[in-house]
Amino acid sequence: MSDLAFGGIIGLFAFSGKAQLIFERLTRWQIILIYIIAGLLFTFEGHIFRGVLFTFERFVPGVIFSFIILEQVYAKKSFYKIDKVPYFFTSGELTYGFYMFHCIYIYYWSTFFENNNYTEHLWQFILYCLVVFVSTYFTAYLSLHFYERPFLKLKKHFR
């Protein structure tokens, strides 16, 4: 639920125009520094968010991912725009499917890999990540074309 709440909050922040003003002023070095801090927080979150700080375990990733989204959209001096990756920009329509299906495949494939003792080596983890990504992408693609788009076509009848 916290992820949906953050989505709503950054949506309001973005549509108010304040996000654009703030992110346009960031320098490249400020952005890089924030990414470094975010990387360190993710790397050491198991050590940082213990005891009373456990309360913030879901809050901090929400803030970090909100920053990434707003930075990619509004920052003029980004050190790298992710939409330059081939097919990444066109895969934007699949984000809802990714959001809805990724947790199912993460759970399913982790159980499968664990039950078949495919958890010993790095190559097995890489294979696991690849299988999760491909199966989620395929399902999101099917969902978009056979479920979401037919519903989206109905929007014109309700405006």
Whether 12 and 75 share a structural domain? yes
pLDDT attached to residue 1: 65
**Predicted TM-score (pTM) above 0.95:** no
Final residue belonging to a domain, choices 18, 52, 84: 84
Whether 6 and 76 share a structural domain? yes
CB neighbour class for 143 (10 Å; exposed up to 12, middle 13-18, buried from 19): middle
Print the domain residue range for 115. 90-158
Distance CA 6, CA 1 (A): 9
Mean residue pLDDT of the chain comes to 87
Whether 12 and 67 share a structural domain? yes
Helices (H), the chain: 2-16, 18-25, 28-43, 45-48, 59-74, 95-115, 122-143, 149-153
The residue length of the chain stands at 159
Total domain count, the chain:
2
pLDDT digits (tens, 9 = 90+) for 104-136: 999 999 999 999 999 999 999 999 999 999 999
pLDDT attached to residue 7: 82
Please state which of the ranges 10-19, 103-112, 132-141 shows the lowest mean pLDDT: 10-19
pLDDT attached to residue 41: 85
Whether 46 and 113 share a structural domain? no
